[in-house]
Amino acid sequence: MTNPTRILLIDDDAVDRAAVRRALAKSGLAHTLTEAAGGEEGRRLAAEATFDCVLLDYRLPGIDTFALLKTLLAVEGQARAVLMLTGEADPDLATRLMRAGALDYIDKAEVTPSGLARAIRFAEARQAFQAELADARREAEAKSLELDTLNRQKSLLFSIIAHDLRNPFQALLGLSEVLGKAVAARDPASIERRAKGIQEAATQAYALLESLFSWASLQMDTLAVTLTDVDLDAVTTEVMQGAAETAADKGLTLDASCAGIAVRAQRDMLTTVLRNLVGNAVKFTLPGGTVTVFGRRLGDEVEISVADTGVGMPPGKVDDLFRLDRRTTTNGTAGERGSGLGLLLCRDLVERQGGVLAVSSAVDRGTTFRFRLPAGIPSKPSRTFAEASPT
């Protein structure tokens, strides 16, 4: 059974309201009718209840009809049809009202049961069509935005392959050629220097490829995410041990405070995030500085932060950190180079696990990255980073 059409009639003339009431009663249209004797009453009723159709008198005392029409059309969550009732035969006025959002214009002298029912049905059908059209437009805009993002990602991949990835391989080719000459000349110092340069270039190329493949896999949705209880202290210990040698070479202190804390996460993803964030912190911290990984329980969640006492960033740069179209690379305090993909990868990996990666930073005062994940159930105690570090 079709639901009755919910109609709101706004007209200050009692005689005209009675005429509309009689016409609707004889029309055969299943409906419920609510009447308002003025504009303010009509505005209140429209805000308090849901109506499929509003019959609005054009000339209401003490109120701007166009303003009331705009209000009736702007009620959130309602796709209502508004039909104008008037005693004036003015085509220009009808055009203005239709442009303002009214779906039809009915002369009061021509209000008949069949005509009124037909106008209401037509208005409802047209309103439904407009709602479907608006939904289709929003869907098309979302698809367009998605395609635009994909195009930017494709351009970014080509840019990395064409520029970022070419540089370390050019260095490898050049250094290997020089190394060959040094070997022929039996120059041990030059051989050692060139071999170290080759190692650095190869390390840079490998790190870039790893970030590139991981990030590309995320964009193609090829990484499955299954959350389990993960010992945060064990993951942090693994990450800190991996960064220990580089940190020692720069004279940095690594510190971790995550004992007894577990999170619901994908272990490999969490490890990748912390490895990138700790590596970034080491990269931008001057000798004598400190890099800290800290975990704390906040209700049903765990907040994980990676903080450093490094060079920090100005507000403008912080705002652009996760902008795909503003990917930049900055050399570290010892000239370390990066791909500019690490933080984008971290953001996507954190979001895949249900978190949001946030950052705060101040120039010459350091940077802190933090995110929250659901708390997990701790397993047996693991060794802390300090206990696991070689003496």
CA 257 to chain centre: 31
Pairing verdict, β 53-57 and 5-10: parallel
Q: How far apart are CA 313 and CA 84, in angstroms?
A: 59
Helices (H), 103-219: 113-159, 166-184, 188-219
Q: In the prediction, which pLDDT does 381 show?
A: 55
Q: Are the C-beta atoms of residues 232 and 302 closer than 8 Å to each other?
A: yes
The closest of 61, 50, 64 to 96, measured between CA atoms, is 64
- The residues facing 5 across adjacent strands are 31
User: Domain total for the chain?
Assistant: 3
Residue type, 376: G
Q: In the prediction, which pLDDT does 219 show?
A: 58
Same domain, 17 and 56: yes
Residues 6+ apart with CB under 8 A from 207: 338, 339
Domain holding 42, by residue range, is 5-135
293, two tokens: 């990984």
310, two tokens: 């490094």
What backbone phi and psi angles, to 5 degrees, belong to 78?
-125, 130
**Domain containing 124 — which CATH number?**
3.40.50.2300
272, two tokens: 């990748």
Q: What is the DSSP code string of 76-125?
A: TT---EEEEEES---HHHHHHHHHTT-SEEEEGGG--HHHHHHHHHHHHH
Q: How far apart are CA 247 and CA 244, in angstroms?
A: 5
Same domain, 266 and 357: yes
Against a cut of 0.85, is the pTM above it? Answer: no
Q: In the prediction, which pLDDT does 340 show?
A: 56
Q: Which residue has the tokens 């693991």?
A: 382
Q: Given 219, 245, 261, which residue is the final one in a domain?
A: 219
What backbone phi and psi angles, to 5 degrees, belong to 135?
-65, -45
Same domain, 79 and 103: yes
369, two tokens: 């990255």
Same domain, 244 and 368: yes
Q: How far apart are CA 335 and CA 246, in angstroms?
A: 13
Farthest CA pair distance, the chain: 112
For the chain (391 residues), the mean pLDDT of every run of 10, in chain order, is 82 90 88 91 88 87 87 68 79 80 79 81 75 81 78 61 62 79 83 81 71 62 75 93 88 93 90 88 92 94 95 81 60 51 81 91 92 86 52 42
Helix (H) or strand (E) holding 241: helix 232-250
Same domain, 171 and 38: no
Helix (H) or strand (E) holding 16: helix 14-27
Q: Is residue 107 part of a domain?
A: yes
Q: Is residue 152 part of a domain?
A: no
Residue type, 240: M
Q: Given 152, 187, 219, which residue is the final one in a domain?
A: 219
Q: Given 117, 135, 153, which residue is the final one in a domain?
A: 135
389, two tokens: 């570090």
Same domain, 83 and 12: yes
Q: In the prediction, which pLDDT does 218 show?
A: 60
Q: Is residue 155 part of a domain?
A: no
Q: Is residue 146 part of a domain?
A: no
Q: Is residue 142 part of a domain?
A: no
Q: In the prediction, which pLDDT does 339 show?
A: 47
Same domain, 354 and 278: yes
Q: How far apart are CA 144 and CA 148, in angstroms?
A: 6
Torsion from C-alpha of 64, 96, 72, 76, nearest 10 degrees:
-130
Residues 6+ apart with CB under 8 A from 161: none
Q: Is residue 212 part of a domain?
A: yes
